[in-house]
Amino acid sequence: MSEQANCLQVEMLAEMKKQTALLERMETQQALLIQALAEDQAEQDPDALPLTYMDGTPCR
């Protein structure tokens, strides 16, 4: 394998590692957000009508 091809593979591997780290960070943040939302919902009466739609606009 040529040195240029080997260098390209090393660069690609480095980028893939960066991407993987970013995806793992996103996964952690989303899990924390879901957990916080679930805890917030647990405090509310499950039979009560919702006060807002999923996009945050108030229900009328």
Residue 39: pLDDT band with limits 50, 70, 90: confident
**Rounded mean pLDDT of the chain?**
89
Residue 42: pLDDT band with limits 50, 70, 90: low
Q: Does residue 28 carry a pLDDT above 70?
A: yes
Of 34, 33, 41, 32, the residue nearest 51 (C-alpha): 41
Q: Which two tokens stand for residue 53?
A: 């739609």
Residue 39 and residue 31 in contact, taking contact as beta carbons nearer than 8 Å: no
| Segments in the chain forming alpha helices (H) | 3-42
Q: What are phi and psi of 49, to 5 degrees?
A: -70, 145
The domain limits of the chain are 1-60
